[in-house]
Amino acid sequence: MAASLIGGSLLGVAFDKLYVVVVDSCRKVAAFRSEFESLKLTLTHIKPIFKDIEKLNKLTGTREVETNVLIKQLTEAEALIEECVKIKRHHLCKKWRYSKKLAKLEKSLSRFFAIDVQIQSSRDIKKALVKVNGIDDKTDEILGHLRNLTINQGIGIGATAIGTPNAFPGWADVPAVPDGLVGFDSPLLELKKMVLKDEAGQPVVVISAPGGCGKTSLVKLLCHDKEIEDKYKHISFVTVSRTPNLRSIIHKIFNKLNNGSVPDFQSNEDALNQLQLLLQEHLVGDSILLVLDDVWNESLSVLKKFIFPIQNYKVLVTTRCIFPEFKYTYKLQLLSDNDAMVLFCNYAFEGGKYNGRRDLVDKVVKSCGGFPLALKVVGSSLRGQHLSGIQRQSKSQILFTSDSDLLDCLQPSIDALDEILRNCYKDLGLFLEDQRIPAAVLLDIWVELYNLDEDGFETYDILLKLAARNLVDLALRRKDDPASIGFSNAVHYARQHDVLRELAMYQSANETIENRRRLNIGNDFPPWLLTQTGILLQVQMLSISTDEALFSNVYDLQLPNLEVLLLNIQTSSYTLPIFVEKASHLKVLVVTNNGFSPTMFSNSSLLGHLPNLKRIRLERISFSSICQSTFMLGNLHKISLVMCEVGDAFQDCIFRMPNLLEINIEYCDDLEKLPIGICDLVHLRKLSISYCQKLVEIPEELGNLENLEVLMLHSCSNLTGLPDSIERLCKLSFLDIYDCVDLDPIPEKIGELRSLKTIFMGGRVGLYDLPDTVLNLAQLRSVICDEETAFLWENYRDYFKDLSISIVKDDMNLNWLHRSSCLGNL
């Protein structure tokens, strides 16, 4: 309590000192007068929230970590101002450099101010609540903002938010409006009238149309409309799907509306009660719009649970179904002939114009039935083709009467793919509906099944080709050429429209279950098929998304050709199916826990019976529980742990994986020190540790990894230094230390990395120079960094041959990652 009081007091002192220095410098320093005046204005606007934080710290004795971080930031900012004061006007180079630093400082504070604006409208009400009984609510809100600021922006003045998870739109944010929409002007106006209409007892508006008509695109357009944004101050957007999880949906909404603070729900009823309380008490006076996308008949009961007797609250639903119990239903029509032609030509022909036989194009457009999805997919598949391709497609004319007709229309676009693209497209059907498919998972699968290259560029090319045909949507982490930053830094995930997923699954529908190459087993799978004696499945890729009880009595299931196993679970504990023991050809195992806490594993000793297992990816799993069993994985080449509970498990069982070539660890919050045992893996080529905020130390033994080619320590914000033994990594060609904001100055030993070709660095305050030993990096060809770091490298450019210095752009796709996006399939 005392420490918190001191911290709150020091925060106000630090802010006041910075403000005084800036105001004084505005009068005295001509060289930076415009920059100081702009900074002064920003500080004036942001001052009230600092006072609130200081006041609430005194009232509540809250945690001091966030406060101390801000104090450090403000102190560093004051030091920067004092450095600027010493610079003379005629020192143009220094002035330019420090002007950039001041701009970066102001940008960081402006981001904080943007957070303040979000809570400004409710500040007066919440001050009253603080005086009565709402201290905790206000404190949690402000500290939630602070936590996001300090973690998301790299804990440093001017630090950019590149690659940090929470800096990006979260679970229930409205997605961006798709490019190239046609024919939505009139539907938007009609739907907007319904949504803006206030009528007691009618909180639900339904948009109904078959799959592929553009319902979701229309809603995205609506949510970004200025009139809608002016009326509804809080808009949440969640996908429901055919088999929804109520608590998961509420978890996403809470994360959006309550600034990342989500309580532990004891039951579905408790979750609903707490959500209603949040809407009624915490968002007083604000209008709320909740979008429930892709609701099915099977999930209608879930929709009804979100109907609360609250004023200024509206629920907007998209569905393929008709729900007559709701008064306001907008039936989205198919595109008119003219709009359909425009949309098709935009995707099929350069410049949207076709100068050939109009009758053939008319036939193709009519065969798509006015479905935007079909027009985009078919048009993209014909782009760049000659007349013969258009003639073939024109023969597939169909009168649309159902979704199956839409699938039939799209089939020629799939048939036109080459074999590898067609197989990769079909593989996407193995993943859950509306699931964000990590690109790294596709890489693992396709490398083993189709012998693609390990570096991922062939996988990247396949995804781009499928996306160019509108068969998949991609979330790109960066828009740069992936050759400079690696596949894992270029693409985050892929996602499919549910119709296209059905089409991918439809490809196997004509085969018997026993003979299918790909098989999805969900809760609707007939259990008697698995309980037959001695059942033999020829499946090569198996996806299981069902309760483990289905397999509890399945002992003699034979899977002689199984190479890829995807397990989607949502339980606190899980037992591996017995049949895994006999899957001797299994190469890739992916286990994804869609719950909220790490799953405890049992029966993991079965993994020791898989001599060909090459790749394991675990998401939100207790890795330590797996390592409690005794087993060897002598041929395992890659292990990926995402949001796993690691503990000391790595140190205890790494010797069981002696031939590992790649280790990938992301968002593992309990990883504080890299286990020394990893440094004994002499075959290791790639070590990637990203967003592990508690990692503070890399052991000196790192230099033992003589075959290491890639070292990624991306956004490990508490990492303080690199060991001197890094000089022994003679094969290291790629080094990523971006957003390691507490990292000590670049070690002199870096000059010994004679094989280094690419370095990814930046996002750190206080990096004023580079060691001269960087001149020894004879193979260096690419530096990817922030603007300030680029200035440092410019001083050395002439010493390198063809050195490329790429500045990390601020126009990164901000939809690709929120830490919670890993939960996007909930």
Rounded Cα–Cα distance for residues 536 and 47 (Å): 70
Tokens of 784: 């990817």
Tokens of 354: 């076709």
DSSP letters, 102-126, are: HHHHHHHHHHHHHHHHHHHTTHHHH
The three state secondary structure string of 269-316 is HHHHHHHHHHHHHHCCCCCEEEEEEEECHHHHHHHHHCCCCCCCEEEE
Q: Side by side, which strands form the sheet with 234-241?
A: 234-241, 288-295, 313-319, 204-208, 328-331
With beta carbons less than 8 A apart as the criterion, state whether 459 and 442 touch: yes
Mean pLDDT confidence for 425-436: 89
Q: 136-183 pLDDT, tens per residue?
A: 443 344 334 333 333 333 323 222 222 223 323 346 788 888 888 999
Q: Which residue has the higher pLDDT, 366 or 291?
A: 291
Mean pLDDT confidence for 205-214: 89
Residues 6+ apart with CB under 8 A from 530: 521, 550, 551, 554, 557
pTM across the whole model: 0.68
pLDDT of the residue at 264 = 83
User: In the predicted model, is pLDDT for residue 571 greater than 60?
Assistant: yes
CB atoms within 10 A of CB 198: 11
Element (H, E) at 493: strand 491-495
Please state the separation of Cα 725 from the chain's center in Å.
34
Tokens of 291: 């979008």
Q: Within 133-232, where are the H helices? A: 135-152, 185-196, 215-223, 226-231
pLDDT of the residue at 176 = 85
pLDDT of the residue at 502 = 83
User: In the predicted model, is pLDDT for residue 477 greater than 80?
Assistant: no
Q: How confident is the model at residue 528 (pLDDT cuts 50, 70, 90)?
A: low
CB atoms within 10 A of CB 554: 15
Q: Which amino acid is at 173?
A: D
Q: How many Cα neighbours within 13 Å face the side chain of 606?
A: 16
User: In the predicted model, is pLDDT for residue 691 greater than 80?
Assistant: yes
Q: How confident is the model at residue 221 (pLDDT cuts 50, 70, 90)?
A: very high
